[in-house]
Amino acid sequence: MIRKNIIFVGLIFLFIFNFIGGQALQELPERLSIIENDSSIFNLSFPGALHLLIDKTDLIEINGESLNEKLITVDSSRITLKGKNTGETDLYFKLFGLIPLRRVKLNVLPSVSVMPGGQAIGVLMRTEGVIVVGRAVVYGTKGNRYSPARKQGIEPGDILLSVNGTKIKSKGHLADLIQQFGKQAENLNFIIRKKSGALKEISVNAVKNKDNQYLIGLYIDDGIAGVGTLTFYDKKTKEYGALGHVIIESHSKSKIKLKDGRIIEASITGIQSGRNGIPGEKLGAFYPEANILGNIKKNCDFGIYGKLERPPVNNYFKEEIPIAAISEVNKGPASIYTVIEGGDIEKYKINIDRVYQQGYPSSKGMIISIVDKELKSKTGGIIQGMSGSPIVQNGKLIGAVTHVFINNPLRGYGIFAEWMLMETNIYNNRQFKAAN
């Protein structure tokens, strides 16, 4: 009986120990990146002996030592990982070398340096086809009310690609096509890309109004223009990243399906300061046919990307600086670079309040707060148009400003530079295939 009680108590002890140990390792993401020849430190507060099984021992050093064996015992309260060679391996944390606690996929990335941005840019994008931004009532020749597009299920956010076999080039082109085909036959056969991404054929009856104009009851748009901030660019490839978040159509809240676009040198002409409940905004001016900086090839969840025709100037940085891995980002002081007046970049103090050790891409990787008195007085905090402003900490580009807290404009989110870099071909051009 005593022996059974001892075994029972022992099993309970192991369960509690295993549970506490597993909780201590939860701060490690499922996927972890470090930079070749750089070190990242992890404080785990693990309550006992911890064993680590490594698939590829030549990729990393642990606590300053090269690995000769796949299974090693480590100082469980503090682990320093240093990248030796690029590649990917699995790390298995085990209790007593037997009981699995956590598996981490480790990616050793090459050291990459880029030029930080901060420049104000005008963003011009044209959509594929035309995007539906609203619906309207059509009044017929006798004053009757019709809703032809709504009746057939066309919704804001849908993209009209063609009508009666003709590709739609712009909203003006569609207006002409509706008049042309409306006179020939009331039925207009549209190919539509729904918000879900699915293609659908929808037939709509055009209605003639008292002015002999044919209408289908839609408000449409074919592009977007706005002001943002350049985050970084690569001197070798001329690739850039900007904004740090997706561009959406303001009415339908749908992602812009990019047909083509360009970024243009912009000048900030005024500021609408932010306050609780009301986001502020940069007011910018740019000329679509002049001062073109480059094209736009991608609009995704982590910003816009393309190639520069000419590199812009940043007086704070004469040379490229390294991009930090997520594991290198720490709570504490940092700086952002952005334009508040005219075209000159200024440096402002911020604080990193929280860091999310993400294993998978997200545009909200850290919480930042504005501490710079000058920036507070000029803008009230983070404002629209500041998206993409590079964040630099300890001489490395760690990310970009993306979102503001509506009820507290002094605080907001930032995206990690590592995720933005993954949207470019910069790693591949350095003969490395990013596992992320």
Summarize pLDDT for 193-204 with one digit per residue, the tens.
Answer: 887 778 899 898
pLDDT at 18: 45
Residue 313 is given by DSSP the state P
For 247-256, 269-278, 316-325, 348-357, which range has the lowest pLDDT when averaged over its residues? 247-256
Q: Give yes or no for a contact between 214 and 208, defined as CB atoms under 8 angstroms apart.
A: yes
The token pair at 425 is 């071909």
Higher pLDDT, 303 or 56: 303
Task: Provide the b/e sequence for 44-83 (b: ≥16 CB within 10 Å).
Answer: bebeeebbbbbebbebbebeeeebeeeebebebeebbbbb
CATH class of this structure's domain 137-216: mainly beta
Summarize pLDDT for 137-188 with one digit per residue, the tens.
Answer: 888 888 888 888 888 888 888 888 999 988 988 888 888 898 888 887 768 8
Is it the case that residue 27 has pLDDT exceeding 80? Answer: no
pLDDT at 334: 97
pLDDT at 209: 87
pLDDT at 77: 67
Summarize pLDDT for 303-318 with one digit per residue, the tens.
Answer: 999 999 988 988 999 9
Band of pLDDT at residue 394, cut at 50, 70 and 90: very high
Is it the case that residue 351 has pLDDT exceeding 90? Answer: yes
User: To the nearest whole percent, how much of the chain has pLDDT over 90?
Assistant: 31
State the catalytic residues. Answer: 245, 372, 387
Band of pLDDT at residue 48, cut at 50, 70 and 90: low
User: To the nearest whole percent, how much of the chain has pLDDT over 70?
Assistant: 86
Q: Which of 42-51, 68-77, 248-257, 404-413 has the highest mean pLDDT?
A: 404-413
pLDDT at 119: 95
Band of pLDDT at residue 12, cut at 50, 70 and 90: very low
pLDDT at 433: 45
Once rounded to an integer, what is the mean pLDDT over residues 229-240? 94
Is it the case that residue 23 has pLDDT exceeding 60? Answer: no
Once rounded to an integer, what is the mean pLDDT over residues 41-60? 74
Contacts of 412 (CB under 8 A, 6+ apart): 367, 368, 381, 382, 401, 402, 403, 404, 405
For 36-45, 100-109, 140-149, which range has the lowest pLDDT when averaged over its residues? 36-45
Is it the case that residue 26 has pLDDT exceeding 70? Answer: no
Q: What is the overall mean pLDDT for the chain?
A: 83
Q: What letter represents residue 235's amino acid?
A: K
Classify domain 116-123+223-429 by CATH number.
Answer: 2.40.10.120
The token pair at 331 is 């709570």
Domain with CATH 2.40.10.120 in the chain: 116-123+223-429
Band of pLDDT at residue 127, cut at 50, 70 and 90: confident
Q: Give yes or no for a contact between 285 and 227, defined as CB atoms under 8 angstroms apart.
A: no
Summarize pLDDT for 382-391 with one digit per residue, the tens.
Answer: 999 999 999 9
pLDDT at 156: 86
Q: Give yes or no for a contact between 348 and 372, defined as CB atoms under 8 angstroms apart.
A: yes
CATH class of this structure's domain 20-111: mainly beta
Domain with CATH 2.60.40.1080 in the chain: 20-111
Q: Please compute Rg for the chain using Cα positions.
A: 27
Once rounded to an integer, what is the mean pLDDT over residues 340-361? 90
The token pair at 1 is 């009986």
Tell me the H-state helices in 87-195: 148-151, 171-184
Band of pLDDT at residue 45, cut at 50, 70 and 90: low
Once rounded to an integer, what is the mean pLDDT over residues 251-263? 77
State how far the alpha carbon of 184 is from the alpha carbons of 151, 177, 178, 181, 266, in Å: 22, 11, 10, 5, 46
Once rounded to an integer, what is the mean pLDDT over residues 313-340? 93
pLDDT at 109: 86
CA gap 258, 83 in Å, rounded: 38
Is it the case that residue 97 has pLDDT exceeding 60? Answer: no
pLDDT at 194: 86
Band of pLDDT at residue 44, cut at 50, 70 and 90: low
Is it the case that residue 416 has pLDDT exceeding 50? Answer: yes
State how far the alpha carbon of 107 is from the alpha carbons of 36, 50, 327, in Å: 10, 21, 11
Is it the case that residue 350 has pLDDT exceeding 90? Answer: yes
CA gap 157, 164 in Å, rounded: 21
Domain with CATH 2.30.42.10 in the chain: 137-216
CA gap 157, 131 in Å, rounded: 6
